[in-house]
Amino acid sequence: MERLDIEVSGGCQCGAVRYHTTQMLDNSHLCHCRMCQKAVGNIFVALVAAPDEKLIWTRGKPAIWKSSEHVERGFCANCGTPLFYHDLNNGRTNLTIGSLDDPHAFPPGANTCTENMVRWFDTITAIENSGPTESNGESWAEAIAASNRQHPDHDTDTWPPEEDKP
State the CATH number of the domain containing residue 87: 2.170.150.70
Residue 126: inside a domain: no
Residue 128: inside a domain: no
Domain that holds residue 143: 3-118+133-164
Query: CB of 82 within 8 A of CB of 45?
Result: yes
Residue 139: inside a domain: yes
Q: E strand or H helix at 7, and its extent?
A: strand 3-11
Q: What is the three-class DSSP state of 4? A: strand
Judge whether residue 45 has pLDDT over 90.
yes
The strand ranges marked E within 12-161 are 18-25, 29-31, 45-51, 56-59, 63-66, 71-75, 82-87, 92-96, 111-112
pTM listed for this prediction: 0.90
Residue 124: inside a domain: no
Cα 26 to Cα 116: distance, rounded to the nearest angstrom: 23
Residue 34: inside a domain: yes
Cα 143 to Cα 23: distance, rounded to the nearest angstrom: 38
Judge whether residue 131 has pLDDT over 70.
yes
- Give the total number of structural domains in the chain: 1
pLDDT 10s digits, 14-26:
999 999 999 999 9
Q: Which letter, b or e, does each residue of 121-130 get, where b requires 16 or more Cβ atoms within 10 Å of its Cβ?
A: eeeeeeeeee
Residue 125: inside a domain: no
